Chain A
Amino acid sequence: MDITEFQAIYIMWLRQMKRFIRSRGRLIGTIVQPLFFLVILGSGLRSAVMPGMVGDDYLAFLAPGIIAMAILFSSMFTGISVLWDKQFGFLQEVLVAPVSRFSIIIGRTLGGATIALIQGFIILFIAFGLGVPIAGISGLLLTIVFMVLSAFTAVGFGLVIASKMENFQGFQLIMNLIIMPLLFLSSAFFPIATNPDMPSIVSQLSFFNPLFFMVDGIRGSLTGLNNVLDPLVNLVIVIGICIFMLGLGSYLFSKYEA
């Protein structure tokens, strides 16, 4: 890879950052929504007893789920925003440049991941402020690794959708029919896999939900409470999912004709 490709990756990244900083609505929206969940839901139900939950701190249970949610939504948006570029014609400018599709995807993915991490960290700090316990420094570092991997995966998923859709009509459908159910069934908001009140088929199916491993991984590494699997097991699985999604997204995007 020569210097031009790095420059292309950098400018793709920089463009994402500039657009993000200039778009107040997105900045506020993506922070306010998770915050709302965390503060209202977390504080309101803090002393509630959930079936399948260990300990009595619901906020500590919820915080990793909300961090995962914020990162997934934000990164998926970055992937799907290729559609905006398509509609506004800017994609042609990118595709006709003497830059490999691979660099274009890397630049976009890094941009999306950076934005997602900024948002993830803001929520993380708020969670600390609200008194969510942390397992330790190594756990925190592992959390960041999970956050990065989740971001990459979601950008990849966004790219897959973007290369298969002509416009935004299908986006809402995918959010409502795929993402929201997956998120609810990932144990992000309340226990599913260990919940005795759940039909056992639902609990078992949750082990086929990619989001479950991300949420569970962040939970295990950040707080060390309520995780079902060992964080390192989650890590291996999430790396696998990430490579698959990013690979698929890149492949479909590289086939794309303007």
Chain B
Amino acid sequence: MSAEIITTGDRILEIIKTNNLTKKFNGFTAVDHISFSVKKEEIFGFLGPNGAGKTTTIKMLTTLLHPTEGSAELSGFDILKERDKVRKHIGVVFQDPALDTELTGRENLDFHARMYGLDKENRKKRIAEVLKLVDLEEKKDVLVKKYSGGMKRRLEIARGLMHYPTVLFLDEPTLGLDAQTRRAIWEYIKKMNKEEKTTIFLTTHYMDEADYLCDRVGIIDRGKILVMDSTDNLKNAIGNDVITLSCSNLDELGKRLGEESWIKNVKQHNTFLTLGVKKGEEKIPIIFEIARNLNIKIKSISVRKPTLDDVFLYFTGRIMRDQEKKDAKIENLPPMLRSRGR
């Protein structure tokens, strides 16, 4: 990914730009020479399994950690040399809650507003606005320790927006929330991206989240960016449709199908094959034909539109690590047979 600054007049179109950004913890490389850029007003997603280096990257970009190597600019300001300017331009919602639970929701927002130098009038107006945005007006005078997890998360998102940041960092914004709350938070994120023109950098390990929210995603694994593109392009790279099948002799069938030119790609996994094709429904009979000629019995087969799950699987050769553990018992099933989404 080239990282030249594209500018029209004074406006910087690349809001975040990193160059070989690296973080090592006692010799262990958590983030490994990553270079990427995020454009103005887009929603950019960092997608990766546990321990991929997402949070570490955010901490470096938000000036909380010193990079071991490399550099980054935010809104044109260097994250090492112009920390205060960077800090003024960013809002952060951390992965772990960062609220003072002994204060009320309104007091937490007031604390934030003053730390960011908002004047009295602005404070009042802005606190009312962001509370409305996340539907917490009624709870504003309740101590945060009495909030539910989802309410806390909404308050944090509201707080991140208080000072009109150019970029809002959201580290796993919906981790551990119920389906309804997740939906609601997605809507808030879309709304503030649209209405307040906030550029959004979020991390997630939920495919559906990245799929629904992001204009572009970067897939990160073991500290390295594997691929970065728009969600549509990534899906297209895999094929318009994904066929997943399991059969008696994976190796042989996989090799044979690899010779077919109408198949964009074949990937063999432990217990199943995935094929990227066009017009998947029409290809199923052909595949059966080929298998029968080889005397191979197909146990299951399905066609569907590709998701970011497939993208991840395609680029990393495995399903998300944390899901692997959780789904250890049903490992033998191809991913589409597992319950997905909500």
Contacts and interface: CB of A to CB of B under 8 A. Distances in A.
Partners in one complex: yes
A97 B63 CA distance: 10
Nearest to B83: A98
Contacts of B110: 11
A96 interface: yes
A23 B100 CA distance: 13
A85 to B, nearest CB: 8
B42 to A, nearest CB: 22
Interface stretch (A1-9, A194-202, A241-249): A1-9
B114 interface: yes
Given A18-B102, A92-B98, A8 B59 contact: no
Given A15-B111, A96-B62, A3 B97 contact: no
Contacts of B62: 96
Contacts of B103: 15, 18-19
B116 interface: yes
Interface string B266-307: 000000000000000000000000000000000000000000
B101 interface: yes
A156 to B, nearest CB: 22
B26 to A, nearest CB: 14
B112 A96 contact: no
Max count, chain A CB within 10 A of own CB: residue among B59, B90, B99, B111? B111
A21 to B, nearest CB: 10
A8 to B, nearest CB: 5
Given A96-B64, A258-B65, A88 B101 contact: yes
A168 B292 CA distance: 67
Nearest to B143: A22
A257 B159 CA distance: 22
Contacts of A8: 114-115, 117
Contacts of A258: 59, 64-65
Q: Which 4 A-B pairs have the closest CB atoms?
A: A4-B117, A98-B87, A89-B98, A97-B115
